[in-house]
Amino acid sequence: MPKGAAAGRMLKEAFHDLIDEIRPLKVAADNCRVGVSTLHRYASLEREDAECHAALDVVAAMERVTGEPLVTRKLCELSNGMFMPLPNIGAKPGDLLALLAAKAKESGELTAAICAAVADSNVDADEGAAITREIDHLIAVAAAMRATVQSLLRGDQ
């Protein structure tokens, strides 16, 4: 896991990618508390801007504008974690049954990917990628299940 300057550079690159999605950049500045020149400094990889990082409220504002949590994902990665957005849905109790079926399907696909990969007692890069993809699908369904339960508890129907 990168630390120090390397982690800072990765965060600056993620912020650069984030604000690169917003054109013109004045739109980005209009949606947060800093101006265009400050946004440029936050994204700059120049030595004089190395310690100039975006504040969390600015990151949150830019991620709301783009709908892409690029910096949040990078922060999670740097913390040896992963970011999984929860769907914001109004739910009915029957939705849990559909999601339970989807979870069973994804579990079966994950099992098949693992069995295929270890059949020769070796997991290669393509097999590892397939397993990881199936794990991510399973996590996404579990996150949707969680969001559904929370939605039912709040009464969002």
Q: For the chain, which residues make up each domain, given as ranges? A: 4-78, 93-154
pLDDT at 1 over 70: no
What is the predicted pLDDT for the residue at 90? 77
Contact partners, residue 63, CB within 8 Å, separation at least 6: 18, 69, 70, 71, 72
Mind listing the pLDDT tens digit for each residue in 69-88? 999 999 999 999 989 887 76
Mind listing the pLDDT tens digit for each residue in 83-118? 988 776 778 889 999 999 999 999 999 999 999 999
Whether the predicted model's global pTM rises above the 0.85 cut: no
DSSP 21: T
Q: Is 125 exposed, middle or buried (0-12, 13-18, 19+ CB in 10 A)?
A: exposed
What is the predicted pLDDT for the residue at 156? 75
